Homo-oligomer: A and B are copies of this chain.
Amino acid sequence: MKTVLCYGDSLTWGYIPDGSGRHAFRDRWPQVLQAELGDGVHVIADGLNGRATAYDDHLSGFERNAAKTLTTALGTHFPLDLVIIMLGTNDMKHVLCGNAFGSKRGMQRLIEIVRTVPYQFGAKAPAVLIMSPPPLGGDGGEEFKLIFEGGIEQSHLLAGFYNNAALLAGCAFFDAGAVATTSSIDGVHLDAENTRAIGKAIAPIVRDILDL
């Protein structure tokens, strides 16, 4: 049995763009990935709304700084064969970070964490696949503009920066923006179809990484 941890934000949790709640279980991309990979792989979903790569956000009672929570998530689910990290959207909030390069650096810290955690029983660090989220859209309304000032342009740079980070770190990279686009309803989140598309698209990549 191979084990894969999907670590992300609301795009992984399954936030419905109209704010009405959470996508059905079968429509979330980790579950779609699970269905694609079949019973020989166990896919774990760990998506927290508002999660950022390495930036504090005290507007929530939940700890949103992945650099503060990833270690314990890895300790909980190891031994792992693969960790897929899709983050960056919330870094685009002006007050958190506001630029794509900051997300690259946050992602580099997360990769470092994956590789230096003191796993028990001599377990090896898992492979890493980092994913850039689909760029922010332009129709997010007034609140969107206030939160993400300048973020649309920056979010388009995430794929390039993450690709470079993956090259430097020797890990895998996928641009989720290549198969999914953010909803025009809020310019941030994904409808069910686009969420499913991510799970479907990365299945062959994951199979390849897992030697399936």
Give residues in A with beta carbon < 8 Å to B: 1, 3, 13, 19-22, 24-25, 42, 44, 46-49, 54-56, 58-63, 65, 67-69, 71-72, 75-76, 79, 94-95, 97-99, 101-102, 105-106, 108-109, 112-113, 115-118, 120-121, 123, 143, 146-147
Given contacts A21-B121, A146-B99, contact A75 B49 (CB under 8 A): yes
A58 touches B67 (CB 8 A): yes
Given contacts A56-B58, A116-B116, A118-B112, contact A69 B67 (CB under 8 A): no
Closest to A13 in B: B76
Top 8 A-B residue pairs of the complex, sorted by shortest distance between their CB atoms:
A62-B75, A101-B146, A54-B58, A58-B67, A1-B25, A48-B76, A63-B72, A116-B118
Query: What are the residues of chain B within 8 A of A108 when measuring CB–CB?
Result: 59
Say how many copies of this protein the assembly contains.
Answer: 6
Given contacts A56-B56, A69-B72, A76-B47, contact A61 B116 (CB under 8 A): yes
Closest to A21 in B: B121
Least CB distance, A27 to chain B, in whole angstroms: 11
A21 touches B76 (CB 8 A): no
B101 touches A147 (CB 8 A): yes
CA distance A69 to B73 in the complex (A): 10
A60 touches B101 (CB 8 A): no
Least CB distance, A141 to chain B, in whole angstroms: 12
Query: What are the residues of chain B within 8 A of A101 when measuring CB–CB?
Result: 143, 146-147
Query: What are the residues of chain B within 8 A of A143 when measuring CB–CB?
Result: 101
CA distance A63 to B74 in the complex (A): 11
Query: What are the residues of chain B within 8 A of A54 when measuring CB–CB?
Result: 58-59
Query: What are the residues of chain B within 8 A of A71 when measuring CB–CB?
Result: 61-63
Query: What are the residues of chain B within 8 A of A105 when measuring CB–CB?
Result: 59
B59 touches A19 (CB 8 A): no
